Copies of this chain bind each other. A is one copy, B any other.
Amino acid sequence: MSRYAYVNGRYVPHGRAQVHIEDRGYQFADGIYEVVAVRHGRLVDEGPHLDRLDRSLAEMRMAAPMARAPLRHAMREVIRRNRVADGIVYMQVTRGAAPREHAFPKAAKPALVITAKRLLPKFAQMEKGVSVITLPDIRWKRRDIKTVNLTANVLAKQQAVEAGAFDAWLVDEGGMVSEGTASNAWIVTKDKELVTHTPDYRILNGITRLSVRALAETEGYRFVERPFSLAEAQAAAEAFITGTTAWVTPVIAIDKKQVGDGKPGPLTRALQRLYATYADNPA
C-alpha cells in the first residue's frame, strides 16, 4: 500500500514527502507536535490533543498553520488516504523555513506536516507489563511544551532498549521521577492511592494521563498529583505508564527491582480496562 503525507498544503507520496533544509524544525528544533490515536476509525481525544497543540503554539509564540476546522479535515484526509482504522496520526508544526538566524524570522510561514500509520494497540505488552530503568533527567526545563526538542528523550530511550527495558523513567536532581521518555509515570501506594507528577514545567501533561485521571475520579479512586521518589516507586504496590499508544501499561520492574509481586496490579488492571473501553468508544 502506498502511504501519503500532508506537507504544507499538499498530499504527497510518503517517500517523496520533504521539507526545506532551512525549515526551523530541522535546524533549531523550533517546532511542536502531537500524536493522536485512531481507534476503529475514530480519533481518540481529538479535542484535548488540538487544545494542547494550541497551547504549545502559544507557549512557543508560533502562529497556527491553519484554523481548527481545516486542520481536522486534513487529519481525516491523511487517515483516509492511508486507510488507517487503528493507528496514529502525527502532526508537526514548525516556525517555517527562513535563513538561519536564532531569533524568530519576520516572514516565515508555519510549516505543517501530517502523517498517519496503522498500528494496533499493543495488547500483549499491556497484558504482560513492562520493565523500566531510571536515568537522570537532563532535559530542558519546559517539558510542558510538546516540542521536537527530543534529543535527551532519544538518548534515554536508546539506553533503556539496550538495557533490555521498555523505557527509562527520568529522575530529576531532587531524586523525583518526572516521567518516561514518551509517557507519564504513575504509582499506586500501598494504601491504594494513585500518584502521578504535578503537571508543571517538569512533565508533559499527557492527554491519556488526563483521561485516565478523569476515569479514576469517576470511579471514586483516591488520586493525588505530586512528585514521587524512585525509592517510593520501587516500594509501591503497583506502577504503570500512560500514553497515546501505551494506553495504560503496567510497569512490573524498575531498575530490575520488582514492583509489588512483579505482576500487573489490580488497580492498574481496572484502569486499563476502563481506558480500553473509553478508547474503543471515543466521545
Residue positions of A touching B, CB distance < 8 A? 5, 7, 17-30, 33, 60-61, 90, 92, 94, 99-100, 102-104, 113, 115, 117, 136, 138-142, 147-155, 157-158, 160-161, 181-182
Contact = CB atoms under 8 A, between A and B. Distances in A.
A157 to B, nearest CB: 4
Contacts of A20: 17-18
Contacts of A5: 21
Contact of A21 (B115, B157, B160): B115
A103 to B, nearest CB: 5
Q: Report the copy number of this chain in the oligomer.
A: 2
Contacts of A28: 148, 150-151, 153-154
A265 to B, nearest CB: 26
A26 B30 contact: no
A140 B152 contact: yes
Given A21-B5, A21-B113, A29-B151, A102 B157 contact: yes
A264 to B, nearest CB: 23
Contacts of A140: 138-140, 149, 151-152
